[in-house]
């Protein structure tokens, strides 16, 4: 088992995957920070965390990390093989990238500090969303572990035998309801992502990421 793990992370292909795991999560953070500026919604987990973090007087990155640490304990108990380098990178990187860009980078970009029209916000949202979806697809195709938030619906599916699609939709809907309960404004993108995030990421994984990274196959 240990030898297999060493090979997985230190072989040329393993190092290549590690690089893309880190880079894809970094780009998820950058694109998410722009989606927040566009103010038309985010994916459900971030929507919830953007609402909860201020209530706890924590930064978005710190609360997202702490929430995932709590969920990580549950995943380790029930399905520890879902945890890998990608899980840790996802937990620790995305939220702090968002914090960094929204505090130190975007405030110095004049256009992003204007009062944006609806068209301008969509012009920010659309490329940011495309980058986010491609980044998630690359992260998934690397098969280096998944975030605790994403792992728990799989565990619920396994325990209940309910269809994963409905479990995931219920899971994301719960996150959205929590976000609304703590005062977060619901955006159109958040609603769409509850319904379409899973199928859309699967499409990008199959038709985009898998063609970009054919050497990720075993």
> Tens digits of per-residue pLDDT, 62-112?
999 999 999 999 999 998 889 999 999 999 999 999 999 999 999 999 889
Whether the pLDDT of residue 137 is over 90: the answer is no
Contact (Cβ atoms closer than 8 angstroms) between residue 194 and residue 176: yes
Shortest CA distance to 21 belongs to which of 135, 123, 104? 135
Say what the pTM is: 0.89
What pLDDT score does 1 carry? 56
pLDDT at residue 169 greater than cutoff 90 = no
Give the pLDDT mean for 29-47. Answer: 96
Instruction: Give the separation between CA 217 and CA 56, rounded to whole angstroms.
Output: 43
Quote the pLDDT of residue 133: 87
Residue 218 pLDDT exceeds 50: no
Q: Give dist(CA 124, CA 135) in Å, integer.
A: 17
Query: Are 102 and 33 in contact, with CB atoms under 8 Å apart?
Result: yes
Mean pLDDT of the chain: 89
Which of these ranges, 36-45, 177-186, 192-201, has the smallest mean pLDDT? 192-201
* Mean pLDDT for the stretch of residues 118-144: 91
């Amino acid at each position: 088992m240990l030898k297999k793990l060493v090979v997985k992370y230190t072989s040329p292909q393993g190092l290549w995957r590690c690089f893309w795991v880190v880079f894809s999560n970094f780009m998820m953070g950058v694109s998410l920070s722009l989606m927040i500026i566009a103010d038309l919604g985010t994916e459900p987990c971030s929507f919830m965390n953007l609402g909860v973090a201020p209530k706890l007087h924590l930064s978005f990155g710190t609360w997202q990390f702490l929430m995932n640490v709590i969920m990580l304990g549950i995943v380790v108990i029930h399905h520890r093989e879902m945890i890998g380098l990608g899980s840790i990178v996802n937990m620790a990187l995305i939220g702090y990238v968002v914090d960094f860009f929204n505090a130190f980078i975007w405030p110095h970009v004049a256009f992003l500090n204007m009062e944006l029209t609806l068209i301008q916000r969509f012009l920010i949202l659309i490329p940011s969303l495309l980058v986010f979806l491609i980044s998630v697809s690359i992260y998934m195709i690397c098969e280096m572990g998944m975030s605790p938030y994403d792992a728990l619906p799989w565990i619920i599916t396994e325990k209940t035998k309910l269809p994963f699609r409905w479990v995931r939709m219920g899971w994301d809907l719960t996150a959205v309801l929590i976000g609304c309960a703590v005062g977060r404004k619901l955006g159109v993108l958040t609603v769409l992502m509850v319904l379409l995030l899973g199928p859309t990421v699967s499409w990008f994984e199959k038709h985009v990421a898998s063609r970009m990274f054919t050497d990720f196959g075993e």
